[in-house]
Amino acid sequence: MRIVFLVRQFPSLSDTRVLDQALSLIERGHEVDVVSFRPGLWKTTHADVRKSGLHHRVSSFNVPRNWLIRALKSLWLLYLNLDEIHRFFKALNVFRYGKDALAGNLFYAAIGFPRKNIDVLYCHTAQMGRIGAFVQDCFFVQKIVTLIYEDEITRRLVSPGQARALAQRQDLLLTDTERALWTLLRWEADPQKIKPLPCGVKLPLFMKDRRPKVVTGRTTLNIVMISRLAKEVDFGPVLRALAQLRRQHQRVEFHCEIIGDGELREDWEILTKALGLAAAVHFAGEKSREDVVEYLAAADLFIAPAKPVTSGITILEAQAAGIPALVPDSPGGRLLIRDRENGLLYSPKDVKTLVGQIYFLIMNPQDAARIAAEGRRSVERNHVFGQLNKKLEEALQGLFR
């Protein structure tokens, strides 16, 4: 099959799901392209990407974030592509395409989408699904599939009406959780078109050392955080908690590696210095997949920063690596973590509780080892990538039967 992924950003360090799915489908003999709304960072290319040649099959609409620049660039694109003017007029149809037409997103889809016959257009997120419906109207796309995330539903980014409209236009709706599936059914979306597809982890990458990695008998903690340093991601609660931990428990030593890059890196580095953490917190920048695996293998604790959408894949990879995951107490976090059973939860608004969770792990190494082991078992039970991606391939092939 010729499959095109339509995603918000690619590549994304904190969500390797698209990368893993694309590479697996290529290995299975399918032709795969990735089209992103905005380009990701290519400072470090994953070895598997180079080997498969996927980086030569990635394109981006490169939509400006600033609305004025977006509008001016749209006019310039219209001038440069007058032969495509019929698609531009279609992109203005607010009644059919709603706010995506109003925001000008569809102009960029009309120009930037590959001109080729497509068997399956696979859209990650409901917004990409709506843009995908426009793409199907303009280009030759046989089948369209959209993955809707639980966090989109809990943050009300998808309304019942939008869900029903998506189900009407799509050939298949996938959900990352069973709860999201039941929500869509309660909203009266077509039950024949909905299937669950949880996040999956490539377990062999993280199983080199199966021993619990939480320190025992010492008060030194190696912490790792993985995320884009963007405006929607808040490292403030964790940094303030680490500063408070140092003030309250002077015997405790820690080192924190923050993996990722973005437009707010300098701001977080300034805050880190202001809190007196410059020697203990290191901004490592963007790293390859192989490097991330090594960072997790060397860590004692993974902490997810506060952000509107919790990236389940980084949490699962930390659990697969055998370290406790400390995660914001949000709908997305609670889907994966049972507090002090297979991970830990914290409220981004309660720094004191966050300090308490970190100190609990240091002072209770047996509990920390138990939590880490149960976290790994939960991944082994429910999130094995190979099994889940085989189900994805079977679901896509089933659309042509």
In order of 74, 131, 149, 151, 332, the CA distances from 176 in angstroms are 34, 20, 5, 9, 10
Residue 371 sits in the same domain as residue 245: yes
Q: Could you give the residue ranges of the DSSP H alpha helices within 143-264?
A: 150-154, 160-169, 178-186, 236-248
Residue 117 sits in the same domain as residue 241: no
Examine residue 102 and state whether it is found in any structural domain, yes or no. no
Residue 358 sits in the same domain as residue 278: yes
Residue 358 sits in the same domain as residue 334: yes
In order of 15, 61, 277, the CA distances from 64 in angstroms are 22, 9, 35
pLDDT tier at 53, thresholds 50, 70, 90:
confident
In order of 18, 207, 331, 342, 388, the CA distances from 380 in angstroms are 20, 11, 22, 12, 12
Specify the higher pLDDT residue, 111 or 340: 340
Structural domain of residue 21, as residue ranges? 2-61+113-200+384-398
In angstroms, rounded to a whole number, what is the distance separating the alpha carbons of residues 199 and 196? Answer: 10
Residue 337 sits in the same domain as residue 325: yes
Residue 13 sits in the same domain as residue 136: yes
- Based on the structure, what is the number of domains in the chain? 2
Instruction: Kindly report the CATH number assigned to the domain that includes residue 366.
Output: 3.40.50.2000
- Write down the pTM of the prediction: 0.80
Examine residue 95 and state whether it is found in any structural domain, yes or no. no
Residue 34 sits in the same domain as residue 133: yes
Mean pLDDT across the chain: 85
Tokens of 174: 């996938």
| Mean pLDDT (whole number) for 47-71 | 77
**Residue 240: what pLDDT?**
96
CA-closest candidate to residue 159, choices 99, 119, 112:
99
Within 115-239, strands assigned E span 118-124, 141-148, 172-175, 194-196, 220-226
Residue 234 sits in the same domain as residue 340: yes
Question: Tens digit of pLDDT for each residue in 267-324?
Answer: 999 999 999 999 999 999 988 888 899 999 999 999 999 876 555 889 999 999 999 9
**Residue 219: what pLDDT?**
56
Examine residue 104 and state whether it is found in any structural domain, yes or no. no
